[in-house]
Amino acid sequence: MEINSFFKVLLSLILIWLFGLFVKLYNTLIAKPLKLRLALQKQGIRGPPGTLLLGNLLEIHNAFSHASIASGTSNDFPVSHNIQSILFPFVDRWLEKYGDIFMISIGSTQILGVAKPEMRKILAPEFRLEKLKGMIKLIQEAAVTVVEQWNAEIEKAAQGGIAEIHIDEYMRRFSAEVISRTCFGSSYIEGEEIFSKLTTLWLTVSKNLEFYAIPGMRHIPTKRNREIKALEKEIQTSILKVIEERKQAGIEKNLLQTILEAAKSSGLSQDSANKFIVDNCKNIYLAGYETTAVSAQWCLVLLSVYPEWQNRVRSEVIEVCKGQLPDHDMIFRMKQLTKVINETLRLYTPVPVLPREAFADMKFGDICIPKGLNIWLLATTLHTDPKVWGPNANEFNPDRFENGVAGACTHPYLYMPFGSGVRICVGQNFALLELKILISLLLSHFSFSLSPKYVHSPTYRVVIEPQHGVHLLVKKL
């Protein structure tokens, strides 16, 4: 009898739990998206029709899978750099059909939010100008290492002083070394394991990026989700190991120490403090690693395709640096280099979509944004819109930045390689410094052109990157 009532209670609890789960799923997957859609429809905002549960997800997925790759060898490099039409053709279609603002539905979870808002307060001062000046030496050293390695490759090649260099790993190592040393006081070798696992994590997540936008998708125990979980655990262990080693070595003042102090003063339990530390370290590695490496790759590709610009920037570097390593003041004076980097980040912006979620009802101009709505700012669309940049919007023309960003487009906020608003990239100045020092040093030592092996095919795997990597023919000057 007692056992019977025990099972009855258990059954009732299970039923209540199942009912709760059903209500929650119904709300998240059906009621909430429908309510948001209706609120937008009432204001005349339209979009492609989608299915009840998946919205436009399958359409986006198919478009991604069949996106035509802009394949072209070094000899037929496209004059137009309209990567939007290659990578996000459906966006072009929807813009044409539904206007500048359209709605799509794919659920509401943001999957790769890079830093917690409260960490901004801690991180932002770490990248202030005076702090950056202190980082220059480390960046210079990492850039000099790339020069030495390329020199060694040229010596090895012995083909009239020209080497074919696959630059991807060099750019990644440079970026990783700079972040490891400036932010964490460890060398790339110590952090190598973390970077390689992060890259694997990155690639695993990016295989079906759009599906992870569905609420709860990450928690379903699929094979891929289990792989992701295992990798995250390994990354956590590796980061905690580096932190422990740093502690024992008596850490100097660096970003890691700032994060540790913030965790200590937050009054969190040991487990939560560890999670806080690991999350933030992971975010810095993720946010600053691939983005910088891939920007350097695209910049070198474009300088190879446009030798007149390569010569123009090199002349400037030689004139400003006079054989010295580029420092902060010299970098400030390099106008041609700044223009080329700006143009690279416009056409091949590494982060094409900036997601935002409205935490409260808000109004933008005439549009009422209901609480809970996800807003995606499509940087690639904004960066190549002829209404914003003029009829040559898809061409490489660094001179458009002659009078800065404000002079190049109809509104400076429409240029957003580093995002915009309160969550703008905290590492923006740091990244620009890294890129300028590296590119100017490479230009003063080498000339380069695209190797016949290079195939131009930008692809989107969390950042926009060259699908088959970049091979350059590099000659010592």
Q: Which is nearer to ligand HEM, 353 or 388 (CB)?
A: 353
Residue 425 makes contact with ligand HEM by CB under 6 A: yes
Token pair listed for 220: 């379903």
Question: Binding of ligand HEM at residue 166 (CB under 6 A)?
Answer: no
Select from 396, 398, 383 the least CA-distant residue to 336: 398
Q: Which is nearer to ligand HEM, 369 or 473 (CB)?
A: 369
Say which residue the tokens 């790993």 belong to. Answer: 169
188 binds ligand HEM (CB under 6 A): no
The least distance separating ligand HEM from the CB of residue 341, rounded to whole angstroms, comes to 9
- The number of residues that bind ligand HEM (CB under 6 A) is 27
Is residue 101 within 8 Å of residue 84, measured between CB atoms?
A: no
Site membership for ligand HEM, residue 283 (CB under 6 A): yes
Nearer of residues 60 and 416 to ligand HEM, judged by Cβ? 416
Q: Which stretch binds ligand HEM (CB under 6 A): 227-235, 262-270, 284-292, 366-374?
A: 284-292
Q: Which is nearer to ligand HEM, 206 or 225 (CB)?
A: 206
Residue 425 CB, nearest distance to ligand HEM (Å)?
3
C-alpha distances in Å from residue 360, one per residue of 325, 338, 374: 50, 38, 11
* Region from 138-146, 194-202, 241-249, 425-433 binding ligand HEM, contact rule CB under 6 A: 425-433
Selected range binding ligand HEM among 211-219, 311-319, 423-431, 437-445, rule: CB under 6 A: 423-431
Residue 179 or 439: which CB sits closer to ligand HEM? 179
**Residue among 350, 477, 435 at smallest CA distance from 143:** 435
Query: What is the H or E stretch that residue 150 is in?
Result: helix 129-157
Q: Residue 337, interface with ligand HEM (CB under 6 A)?
A: no
354 belongs to the binding site for ligand HEM (CB under 6 A): yes
CB of 175 to ligand HEM, least distance (A): 8
350 scored as a contact of ligand HEM (CB under 6 A) = yes
Consult the annotation and say whether 409 binds a ligand: no
- Which of 70, 179, 242, 321 binds ligand HEM (CB under 6 A)? It is 179
Geometric angle at alpha carbon 358, from 355 and 363, rounded to 5°:
115
In the complex, least distance from residue 375 CB atom to ligand HEM, rounded to whole angstroms: 11
Chain centroid to Cα 474, Å, comes to 27
Binding to ligand HEM (CB under 6 A): which residues in 427-446?
427, 430-431
Looking at the DSSP bridge assignments, the partners of residue 363 are 368
Contact status: 136 vs ligand HEM (CB under 6 A): no
- Nearer to ligand HEM (CB atom), residue 50 or residue 352: 352
Tell me: does residue 352 bind ligand HEM (CB under 6 A).
no
* Residue at 468: amino acid letter: H
Distance (Å, rounded) from C-alpha 111 to C-alpha 199? 16
Question: Tokens for 154?
Answer: 């040229």
Q: What is the 3-state secondary structure (H, E, C) of 79-138?
A: CCCCHHHHHCHHHHHHHHHHCCCCCCCCCCCCCCCCCCHHHHHHHHHHHCHHHHHHHHHH
Question: Of 154, 194, 351, 464, which lies in the binding site for ligand HEM, with binding defined by CB under 6 A?
Answer: 351
Q: Which H, E and C letters describe 369-423, residue by residue?
A: ECCCCEEEEEHHHHHCCHHHHCCCCCCCCHHHHCCHHHHHCCCHHHCCCCCCHHH
Smaller CB separation from ligand HEM, 356 or 468: 356
- Residue among 179 and 340 whose Cβ is closer to ligand HEM: 179
- Selected from 420, 440, 444, 451, the binder of ligand HEM by CB under 6 A is 420
Measured at the CA of 94, the angle between CA 89 and CA 99, to 5 degrees, comes to 135
288, 326, 398, 466: residue in contact with ligand HEM (rule CB under 6 A) = 288
Nearest to 434 by CA among 125, 123, 141, 120: 141
Binder of ligand HEM out of 295, 336, 342, 447 (CB under 6 A): 295
292 binds ligand HEM (CB under 6 A): yes
- What would the x/- binding string for ligand HEM be over residues 227 to 266, using CB under 6 A? ----------------------------------------
Longest dimension (CA), the chain: 94
Contact 82, 386 (CB under 8 A): no
- The answer to whether 204 and 218 have CB atoms below 8 angstroms apart is no
Chain residues 96-135 in contact with ligand HEM, contact rule CB under 6 A: 114-115, 120, 123
Q: Burial level of 93, CB count in 10 A (0-12/13-18/19+)? A: middle
* 49: CB partners within 8 A, 6+ apart: none
Q: What SS3 state is found at 141?
A: helix
Query: Applying CB under 6 A, does 87 fall inside the site for ligand HEM?
Result: no
Residue whose CB is less far from ligand HEM, 29 or 83 = 83
Nearest Cα to Cα of residue 442 among 290, 304, 291: 304
The total number of residues shown for the chain amounts to: 477
291 is an interface residue for ligand HEM by CB under 6 A: yes
Per CB under 6 A, the segment of 88-96, 211-219, 232-240, 291-299 that binds ligand HEM is 291-299
Annotation: binding site: 425
- Contact positions vs ligand HEM (CB under 6 A): 114-115, 120, 123, 179, 283-284, 287-288, 291-292, 295, 350-351, 354, 417-421, 423-427, 430-431
Annotation: binding site for heme: 425
